[in-house]
């Protein structure tokens, strides 16, 4: 490896020991990941995710961001903006690469954060596999820079030349250095590029202005570091999607751009497929008329549909990270008889009726299980106000009908009683007539009619 390249890398120092960084290569069980999040629910959620994927979370307050050693930081957009100068300052003073991930709301723009010098982003709701993969990549880069710093140019040469990541350095419109991985991505040999071609010749025509602008920002000292994506053109004319991490450095008294390039074409294809699936899922989710939310086992809201947002009269992004009892009831603890608590205990569906103002809801909670482990719950609030009102009207009609039936029953009984009395009187009269007829016959007289009761 040329001495110049070793010197170039020696200049790439990002985080100093004085600022509390770990400068030695680290193993997974000793990695400290700083968590600087404003909302307690988000801090707890991210901490649990980090523990689950094998990392030690270091929960920081805002005054502690430069007082404790850590290998990677996760900050939300509030602190990333509030302490941007301090965080980026720590990176620029570092000995080795210190990655910082910005946690963003679902629909937030990302370009401004990456332009500011942050290394990565992730959006709510946080998907465990996605966060784990991003952390692994960033920590691998950090460990590589630590190894290079410790072992010098020989180790750097081995990492660069054997790396799957493209490494480049250029000045003006010509490459001063490219490794084999970068040349292979674009279908060239190293000697076809070094001193003969420049980055614009490998860039899709529609993205050249974008790439040129990013390069000029660094050369004009508007920013030292830049990360962006663009479309590249291979030697055979096919298009690939690339992501670059570039930095302005001084080389032989002149400003040059040193960076790495990754072929993210498979990732882009997968992202597009996932985006389509996510959009379809979101449309279906939002089409549900009932208020639906996804909760963690400790009742923190991870996501909800528009019906839930309308019910609580707040945007979806303002609901994420809070406990459902705080959002619905305005209290820190669950209400008595909370169906979510019943579901957690039974690991099966639980339900209850709940009145909010003059509206009545049927609350249904179903468990989300992974094997035998409870990993969350689906909370559904169905407005049954109309049903309850209909039930009340039906109950009133039933009561009125029962009263009418009772009255008619009493009247019928009176009629029956009257008829029964008449029959008794008729029977007595017949007995008397028969007695008189008998007396007439005994006296030798014959009755005019046999039965006076039947005579008309």
pLDDT band at residue 156 under the 50/70/90 scheme: low
Q: Is 438 exposed, middle or buried (0-12, 13-18, 19+ CB in 10 A)?
A: exposed
Does 145 map to a domain?
yes
Domain assignment present for residue 157? The answer is no
Answer with the residue of higher pLDDT: 422 or 28. Answer: 422
Q: Do both 425 and 292 map to the same domain?
A: no
Examine the domain organization and report whether 273 and 297 are in the same domain. Answer: no
The dihedrals phi and psi of 392, each to the nearest 5 degrees, come to -65, -45
Same domain, 2 and 147: yes
pLDDT at residue 14 above 80? no
The domain boundary, picked from 355, 383, 411, lies at: 383
Name beta bridge partners: 229: 243
Band the pLDDT of 61: cuts 50, 70, 90: confident
Please write the tens of the pLDDT for every residue from 214-259: 999 989 988 888 899 999 999 999 999 999 999 999 887 788 999 9
SS3 164: coil
CA-to-CA distance for 10 and 31, rounded, in angstroms?
Answer: 24
Query: What are the CB-based long-range contacts (under 8 Å, 24+) for 304-313?
Result: 308/381, 311/381
Return d(Cα 353, Cα 382) in angstroms, integer. Answer: 10
How many helices (DSSP H) and strands (DSSP E) are in the chain? 15, 15
Place of tokens 């008889």: 337
Task: Answer whether 258's CB lies under 8 Å from 12's CB.
Answer: yes
State how far the Cα of 292 lies from the Cα of 296, in Å rounded to an integer: 14
Answer yes or no: is 390 within a domain.
no
Looking at per-residue confidence, does 398 or 339 come out higher?
339
Do the Cβ atoms of 399 and 329 come closer than 8 Å? no
Judge whether 212 and 177 are in contact, CB under 8 Å.
no
d(CA 199, CA 209) in angstroms, rounded, equals 12
- Least confident window among 232-236, 321-325, 372-376, 388-392: 388-392
CATH number for the domain spanning 32: value is 3.40.50.2300
Give yes or no for a contact between 389 and 402, defined as CB atoms under 8 angstroms apart.
Answer: no
How much is the average pLDDT of 70-84? 93
Residue 127 and residue 56 share a domain: yes
Instruction: Assess contact for 246 and 7: CB atoms under 8 A.
Output: no
Q: Which of 233, 228, 268 is nearest to 246 (CA)?
A: 228
Looking at the fold, whether 98 and 147 belong to one and the same domain comes out as yes
- Say what the pLDDT of residue 23 is: 39
The closest alpha carbon to 138, from 72, 76, 188, belongs to 72
Tell me which of 35-39, 180-184, 354-358 is least confident: 354-358
Strands (E), 28-140: 32-36, 56-59, 72-76, 100-104, 120-123
* pLDDT classification of 158: cutoffs 50, 70, 90: low
Residue 104 contacts residue 110 (beta carbons within 8 Å): yes
Mean pLDDT value of segment 315-333: 91
What is the rounded average pLDDT for all residues in the chain?
Answer: 84
CA 184, 190, 192, 195 torsion-angle sign: positive
* Cα(128)–Cα(223) distance, integer angstroms: 32
Domain that holds residue 432: 401-456
Cis amide bond preceding 296, omega within 30: no
The answer to which of 7-11, 86-90, 102-106, 184-188 has the lowest mean pLDDT is 7-11
Q: What is the pLDDT of residue 2?
A: 38
Q: Answer whether residue 393 is part of any domain.
A: no
pLDDT tens per residue across span 267-292: 888 888 888 888 888 888 888 989 99
In a domain, 78, yes or no: yes
Instruction: Please report, for the domain that includes residue 264, its CATH number.
Output: 3.30.450.20
- What is the per-residue pLDDT for 6? 38
Q: Which residues pair with 170 in a beta bridge?
A: 175, 257
Residue 385: pLDDT band (50, 70, 90) is confident
Q: CA Rg, the chain, in Å?
A: 41
* Count of domains observed in the chain: 4
Both 331 and 234 in one domain: the answer is: no
For 213-228, give the DSSP string: HHHHHHHTTS-SEEEE
Which whole number is the average pLDDT over 21-47? 75
What was the pLDDT predicted at 367?
A: 95
Same domain, 247 and 369: no
Asked, for residue 333, whether it belongs to a domain, the answer is: yes
Q: Is 385 exposed, middle or buried (0-12, 13-18, 19+ CB in 10 A)?
A: middle
pLDDT above 70 as % of the chain = 87
Of 286, 308, 325, the residue at which a domain comes to its end is 286
CA distance 58 to 69: 9
What's the pLDDT at 447?
A: 62
146/122 Cα distance (integer angstroms): 25
pLDDT of residue 205: 96
Residue 103's pLDDT band (boundaries 50, 70, 90)? very high
- How far, in Å, CA of 284 to CA of 49, rounded? 27
**CB 204, CB 211: distance < 8 Å:** no
Mean pLDDT, residues 406-425:
78
Tell me how far apart the alpha carbons of residues 369 and 333 are, in angstroms, rounded to a whole number: 24
Are 107 and 184 part of one and the same domain? no
Model confidence at 425: pLDDT above 80: no
Range of weakest confidence among 236-240, 289-293, 333-337, 415-419? 415-419
pLDDT of residue 110: 86
| Of the candidate ranges 158-172, 185-199, 224-238, 377-391, the one whose mean pLDDT is the lowest | 158-172
If pLDDT is split at 50, 70 and 90, which confidence band does 300 have? very high
172 and 235 inside one domain: yes
Tell me the mean pLDDT in the region 313-337: 91
Q: Are residues 47 and 130 in the same domain?
A: yes
Range list of β-strands (E), 77-211: 100-104, 120-123, 166-171, 174-178
Which of 361, 197, 329, 175 has its CA nearest to residue 251? 175
> Do residues 142 and 19 both lie within one domain?
yes
Burial of 190: CB neighbours in 10 Å, binned 0-12, 13-18, 19+: middle
Residues 4 and 116 in one domain: yes
Domain boundary among 111, 130, 152: 152
Q: Is residue 19 assigned to a domain? A: yes
Give domain status of residue 330, yes or no: yes
């Amino acid at each position: 490896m040329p001495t110049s390249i070793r010197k170039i890398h020696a200049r790439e120092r990002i985080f100093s020991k004085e600022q509390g960084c770990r400068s030695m290569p680290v193993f997974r069980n000793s990695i400290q990941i700083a968590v600087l999040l404003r909302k307690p629910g988000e801090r707890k959620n991210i901490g649990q995710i980090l523990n689950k994927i094998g990392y030690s979370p270091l929960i920081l307050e805002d005054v502690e961001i430069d007082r404790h050693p850590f290998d990677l930081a996760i900050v939300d957009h509030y602190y990333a903006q509030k302490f941007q100068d301090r965080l980026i300052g720590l990176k620029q003073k570092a000995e080795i690469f210190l990655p910082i991930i910005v946690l963003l709301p679902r629909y937030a723009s990302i370009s401004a954060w990456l332009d500011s010098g942050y290394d990565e982003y992730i959006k709510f709701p946080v998907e465990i596999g996605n966060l784990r993969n991003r952390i692994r990549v960033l920590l691998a880069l950090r460990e590589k820079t630590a190894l290079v710093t410790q072992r010098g140019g020989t180790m750097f040469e081995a990492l660069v030349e054997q790396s799957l990541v493209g490494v480049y350095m250029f000045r003006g419109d010509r490459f001063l250095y490219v490794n084999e991985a970068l040349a292979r991505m674009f279908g060239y040999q190293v000697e076809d590029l070094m001193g003969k071609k420049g980055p614009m010749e490998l860039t899709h025509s529609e993205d050249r202005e974008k790439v040129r602008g990013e390069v000029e920002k660094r050369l004009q000292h508007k920013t030292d570091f830049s990360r962006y994506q663009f479309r590249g053109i291979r030697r055979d004319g096919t298009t690939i999607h690339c992501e670059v991490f570039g930095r302005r450095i001084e080389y032989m008294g002149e400003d040059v751009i040193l960076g790495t390039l990754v072929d993210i074409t498979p990732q882009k294809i997968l992202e597009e497929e996932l985006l389509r699936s996510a959009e379809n899922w979101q449309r279906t989710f939002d089409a549900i008329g009932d208020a639906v939310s996804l909760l963690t086992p400790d009742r923190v809201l991870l996501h909800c549909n528009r019906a839930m947002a309308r019910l609580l009269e707040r945007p979806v992004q303002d609901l994420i990270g809070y406990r459902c009892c705080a959002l619905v009831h305005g209290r820190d603890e669950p209400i008595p008889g909370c169906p979510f608590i019943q579901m957690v205990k039974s690991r099966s569906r639980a339900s209850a009726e709940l009145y909010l103002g003059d509206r009545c809801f049927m609350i249904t909670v179903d468990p989300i299980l992974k094997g035998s482990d409870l990993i969350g719950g689906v909370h559904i609030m169905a407005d049954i106000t109309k049903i309850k009102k209909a039930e009340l009207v039906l109950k009133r009609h039933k009561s009125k009908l029962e009263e009418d039936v009772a009255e008619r029953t009493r009247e019928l009984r009176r009629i029956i009683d009257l008829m029964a009395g008449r029959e008794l009187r008729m029977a007595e009269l017949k007995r008397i007539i028969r007695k008189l007829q008998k007396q007439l016959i005994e006296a030798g007289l014959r009755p005019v009619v046999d039965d006076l009761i039947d005579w008309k």
